[in-house]
Amino acid sequence: MHRVCIHGHFYQPPREDPETGVIIPQPSASPFPDWNHRITAECYRANVGAAVLGQTGDVIERLRTYDFISFNFGPTLLRWMTQHAPDVVAALVESDAASAERLGHGNAVAQAYHHLILPLATDRDKRTEVRWGAADFAYRFGRPADGMWLPETAVDTATLEVIAAEGIRFVILAPRQAAAVRGPGAGASWEDVHERSLVPGRPYRVELPSGRSIAAFFYAPGPAEGVAFGGWLDNGEQMAHRLADEPGPLVHFATDGESYGHHHRHGEMALAYCIRTLRERQDVELTNHAAELARGPVTWSARIVEESSWSCAHGVGRWSRNCGCTMDGNLSMQQEWRVHLRDGLDWLRDALADFSEAEADRLGVDLWALRDAYIFHLLGQESGVSHPLDPLAGVPGEDRHRLHQLLELQRHALMMFTSCGWFFDDPARVEPVQILRYARRAMVLHEALGGRSLEGGLMDRLAPIRSIEPGIRDGRDLWLRRVLR
């Protein structure tokens, strides 16, 4: 039996204005009010009832593709969808339950919460992001997460240690993130591998310094490239036969979930026809990663490439330095602004952490344990029903107000590291401006709690930023014209 696992990583960066919590209208998403609404219509809701066409072009079936693919949704996106597209969220939960009934394990996979590049985060920020992601998943899907999607699949050993400590059993990585593998048996030796020599059709055990281990699925490069860039979604039937012809008992791959309807128009229809075709074959089973782990012990081992990702050929350079990765090749090696943005926000994070720790000590609480538990307050706030694990429940009056401000400060200090702020080519784009607005909100809360102004220190570090956009000479212009608009 040939087994196929298609994984979709569904995510949008948070777009809400930090002052109001509302997305400012985005004319570029017309006729929709903003890109969240547009992509929901084109992709997320479209995959709830993807049309399957017959030979005459009539709709012969509508397929909920989530029943048959592995998927993760960004928690901040799900929070928005719960308010604006609750029917889609309900469908995702139903699909997870349906796949669990079919396979014994649900299709849904958790994600670290704010889409930070975890290898570049502090250890305590790694822990909060993983704990928030796991708690959000359990709240929405009614079960603990088996696996976790790492933002941009960015990984290092310290990140895997945090994930394994939370009871997560597997991660999904790109094939170039495997450094070496070792077969079963006491006499097996390590063999260096690269993207094309790795055998992706099996899980690998990654041993960790703590004595824990975690399974890693390194996806097949051919199908991933075919769906994302190679035109596979032009014909769902051909896509199905290509997947069935891939070597090995298991073929699994991952792409942005937005490939299925947003990046590729009618991609959800191609996916639905692919699924229908595969289900009609007697020699193919659609599976998920947790079901694969349940088939037996993981006998192969792997070492990861430290500080690597699926979207930067230079590891995690795209989010920290002028590594050469761009959307526009003409702008290659003109990304020094990424260094200054990273340095400025790292400095701000540490200054806010020092103040927050001191304020928490004065109030007699453990700041970082409280922050880890703050996700339960956010979930209760979303549902309108106080969560039993809400760390602010029972805290009296003024102390509760100050702790709430302190935790909101810390939430925005996490949001200012959302990965899309570095991903594109120019610092005057909406994505870097958005994360700087989160930084500003954190500083406003800091001053409201009695902290000294940090704006000057941040401006000194952002000043060397240069933009190609007219009217934005440096980082100070960027701050004054875009962030403080």
Residue by residue, pLDDT tens for the chain (485 residues) are 899 999 999 999 999 999 999 999 999 999 999 999 999 999 999 999 999 999 888 999 999 999 999 999 999 999 999 999 999 999 999 999 999 999 999 999 999 999 999 999 999 999 999 999 999 999 999 999 999 999 999 999 999 999 999 999 999 999 999 999 999 988 899 999 999 999 999 999 999 999 999 999 999 999 999 999 999 999 999 999 999 999 999 999 999 999 999 999 999 999 999 999 999 999 999 999 999 999 999 999 999 999 999 999 999 999 999 999 999 988 888 899 999 999 999 999 999 999 999 999 999 999 999 999 999 999 999 999 999 999 999 898 889 999 999 999 999 999 999 999 999 999 999 999 999 999 999 999 999 999 999 999 999 999 999 999 998 999 999 999 999 97
The phi and psi torsions of 71 (rounded to 5 degrees) equal: -150, 150
Residue 215 contacts residue 109 (beta carbons within 8 Å): no
The predicted model scores a pTM of 0.97
Cα–Cα distance for residue pair 273/254, rounded to 1 Å? 18
Look at residue 332 in the predicted model and tell me its pLDDT.
83
Q: Supply 436's token pair.
A: 């700087």
Look at residue 55 in the predicted model and tell me its pLDDT.
86
Q: SS3 breakdown of the chain: % helix, strand, coil, rounded to 5?
A: 50, 15, 35
Strand partners, 2: 284
Cα–Cα distance for residue pair 483/485, rounded to 1 Å? 6
The phi and psi torsions of 320 (rounded to 5 degrees) equal: -150, -20
Strand partners, 110: 148
Look at residue 397 in the predicted model and tell me its pLDDT.
85
Q: At residue 310, what is the residue type?
A: W
Whole-Å CA distances, 315 to 305, 308, 319, 320, 333 = 8, 4, 9, 10, 16
Residue 169 contacts residue 147 (beta carbons within 8 Å): yes
Look at residue 330 in the predicted model and tell me its pLDDT.
85
Largest CA distance in the chain: 72
Cα–Cα distance for residue pair 63/50, rounded to 1 Å? 5
Class of domain 2-304: alpha beta
Cβ-proximal residues to 282 (8 Å cutoff; 6+ apart), any chain: none
Q: At residue 17, what is the residue type?
A: D
Look at residue 1 in the predicted model and tell me its pLDDT.
82
Cα–Cα distance for residue pair 42/196, rounded to 1 Å? 34
Cβ-proximal residues to 179 (8 Å cutoff; 6+ apart), any chain: 192, 193, 302, 303, 304, 305
Look at residue 331 in the predicted model and tell me its pLDDT.
86
Look at residue 415 in the predicted model and tell me its pLDDT.
98
Q: Supply 233's token pair.
A: 């979604």
